[in-house]
Chains A and B, each alone.
Chain A
Amino acid sequence: MGKNNTKGTGQVVKIDASGLFYRELNAQLKELVANGVGKVELRNVYGQRYIGTDLDRPVDIEIFGVPGNDLGAFMSGPRIIVYGNAQDGCGNTMNDGEIIVHGHAGDIIGLSARGGKIFVRDDVGYRAGIHMKEYKDRKPVLVIGGSAQDFLGEYMAGGILILLGLNLGKREYLKANFIGTGMHGGVIYLRGNVRDYQLGKEVGAAELGEKDHQILRELVGKFASHFDYDAEEILRHKFTKLFPRWLRPYGRLYAY
């Protein structure tokens, strides 16, 4: 490490992560980012957790292998590209930045995200996008290319969640049940077939307006460019928009 004088050069640094404990790996990343490195390539990543946590400025981190849980948790600024599958808690409470997964991701991806964008090429696990938040222009985005498991967008308080279902056949239905349960902010766009009972009690379904098409053109366009898809073809399919029916889904629960 000492040999690489990379300060301010925007240079690419490669790290062989095999045998490295996450603490060591992250310490190296922190030092490199503090020195202003523009891009880091992590090779042979085998399940190290928390990669990118505590990084707070723009830098490209390319991961080859399988990053562990909580990839990019609390992160604020970097762009992480994973050539492999991400595990659980990817983008947990992420503040800003971008995570692009060329593969699948596990449960609770984007949990409580406060900003930034996450793109997953294939499937994700349970409770994707749970409790994402939003304030004015700070709006997290989660785009999932494949399908998702139950409780997608549960408790969502803000942000944009897009589920494309690209790996499903024409007659197949999206896999998730309880979509948007407890949702009270933000918006979900579903592409593909979904039955009414798959939706949470707190969401309503609507046709798309011009503003929705604009959002989809932009975000699906980004998704397609990341993973080499034809955006037009994805967008030709019918989308359903889900919105929170009430600001206060549990407002009538109580006796005062």
Chain B
Amino acid sequence: MKTYLPAKFLIERDPERCIRCQVCVNQCTFDSHYYDAEDDEVRSYEESCVGCHRCVLFCPTKALTIRSNPLDYRDNYNWRPEVIEDIIRQAETGGVLLTGMGDDKGQRIYWDHLVLNASQVTNPSIDPLREPMELTTYLGQKPERVELHADLSLKTELAPQVRLEVPVMFAAMSYGAVSLNVHESLARAATEMGTLWNTGEGGLHPKLYKYGSNTIVQVASGRFGVHPEYLDVARVVEIKIGQGAKPGIGGHLPGEKVSLEVSMTRMIPQGTDALSPAPQHDIYSIEDLAQLVWALKEATNYTKPVSVKIAAVHNSAAIASGMVRAGADIIVLDGLRGSTGAAPKIIRDNVGIPIEMALASVDSRLRQEGIRNQTSIVVSGGIRNSGDVAKAIALGADAVYIGTAALIALGCTVCQQCHTGKCAWGICTTDLALTRRVNPDIGARRLANLLRGWSLELKDILGGMGVNALESLRGNRFHLRGVGLTDTELEILGVRMAGS
């Protein structure tokens, strides 16, 4: 069938600069460039270009420019180009539209409508370059009260705690969705920076067991790679109920990505789709969730916190209360803008609520019920910089997860082709020829650099507020003010309007 889809991008090749070295031909995984031997020319199939910039950055003579195709439809606020082209694609395939990364629509990003406070005159700010600043965070259930022995040693028995040097962890990205080199980069950077990375639901390659004390292992509906050693090496065990990019639905890792090694860690036949059922079939209620939480505590001899991750949805606050009562030491909320390696586009862009609202309402609810101490709250789904981190902490989060930001540090340009398995940057693929494009030495360095930069910025933010520990900002919404928000939005966020 002839496609009615126009090219998304235009590829411009400067003939003066092109030396016909064919680097672009070799780098492009979507076959957008080809060498015409007869004419001794490199040419392009523009309709294949996804705009990932791999060729542009690797062209030794900077001969390439990629631009959005300016092909205009008649202006129509309702029938925008994306809407039209989605319909064309479905008319030609009859399938569910798949996509990668997070919701790219224009729902309000509340981080951009929240501003932070700073000290002026009435209290001094602190210079983090010369005074100690504390970002240390402990995840896990905290006791109601602390009792000490006569010699001041701790009498109260503490639930397992995990110490983070920086309150930013790497979000769950499964082996199979991303490559082993990406896992290794994340694991090494987390170890170096004193934080945690998350295996996602595809199991853990034995090569990475040595990073176990900085590893969160996931137990999801597909139960891939869940065995005693996996649970033993981990620092935290996380039950995945849902994901912000696809609340309420399961996952299908396409068969193309189930390579020999992925088949080994997941224990499914090579080339088959890895199917994660929509629900966990042993969890149909809060009581059932409690059963799995305590099964995992029992299986790990009560030595590790058990985390439960849900997608942020309408009733998150009530659900979170149930999760805490089910024994979750950490609860993870993944918001509307949370990312994915593959999800139906219609779900990604339309289901779930913004993380800021979910976080504020869950934190408030748990405080009202007097159970906030029983769990740590971690949020994810669109955290872009240290400003977002500081605002999340002020709204009540103990720590955040970053997924997309971490991948961008590794080279991702958010071209949203993760579901194709052809990632030209070698990140979201299991094709061994491509996965080599991420070098774990360099990858770990880039990720550690990112966390170092954010840590320095967080310390600056704290110093400006005149506090010297993240603990003083945590859940302290007086440090936030809203800009351009309605009364209802401010009420849910628990934040006052700027100027008030």
Contacts and interface: CB of A to CB of B under 8 A. Distances in A.
Interface of A: 22-23, 26, 30, 49-50, 53-54, 56, 69-70, 73-74, 76, 88-89, 92-93, 95, 108, 111-112, 114, 127, 130-131, 133-135, 138, 154-155, 157-158, 182, 184-185, 247-256
Nearest to A51: B298
Interface of B: 89-90, 92-98, 222-224, 226-228, 231, 252, 254-255, 263-264, 266-269, 271-273, 275, 277, 281-282, 291, 294-295, 298-301, 344, 419-420
Given A69-B291, A111-B223, A23 B298 contact: yes
B95 A254 contact: yes
B226 A252 contact: no
A253 B298 CA distance: 39
B275 A182 contact: yes
Contacts of A251: 254-255, 273
Given A127-B281, A248-B255, A253-B96, A184 B298 contact: no
Contacts of A95: 227-228
A92 B95 contact: no
B93 A256 contact: yes
Given A111-B223, A157-B275, 12 more contacts: A30-B301, A50-B299, A74-B299, A133-B267, A134-B268, A155-B277, A247-B272, A248-B272, A248-B273, A254-B95, A254-B97, A256-B95
13 contacts: A50-B295, A53-B295, A70-B295, A114-B226, A130-B281, A131-B223, A158-B268, A182-B277, A184-B268, A185-B272, A247-B255, A254-B98, A255-B97
Nearest to A26: B298
Nearest to B222: A131
Given A56-B228, A74-B231, A255 B95 contact: yes
A64 B95 CA distance: 53
Given A22-B298, A93-B226, A108 B281 contact: yes
A127 B280 CA distance: 12
A54 B301 contact: yes
Contacts of A70: 282, 291, 295
Nearest to A139: B267
A49 B282 contact: no
B263 A135 contact: yes
Going nearest first, the 8 A-B pairs with the smallest beta carbon separation are A112-B223, A255-B95, A133-B267, A255-B93, A157-B268, A247-B272, A135-B267, A74-B299
Contacts of B419: 254, 256
A50 B300 CA distance: 12
A74 B291 CA distance: 13
B228 A76 contact: yes
B67 to A, nearest CB: 24
Contact of B228 (A23, A54, A108): A54
A255 B3 CA distance: 13
Contacts of A127: 281
Given A53-B295, A70-B295, A256-B420, A185 B269 contact: yes
Given A74-B299, A112-B226, A247 B95 contact: no
A138 B90 contact: no
Contacts of A154: 277, 281
A247 B277 CA distance: 16
Contacts of B272: 157, 184-185, 247-248
B273 A53 contact: no
B93 A54 contact: no
Given A56-B228, A89-B291, A254 B96 contact: yes
Contact of B299 (A22, A54, A88, A138): A54
Contact of A108 (B90, B227, B282): B282
B269 A158 contact: yes
A94 B96 CA distance: 35
B389 to A, nearest CB: 35
A247 B98 CA distance: 20
A252 B95 contact: yes
Contacts of B222: 112, 131
B277 A131 contact: yes
A163 to B, nearest CB: 18
B342 to A, nearest CB: 8
A197 B95 CA distance: 26
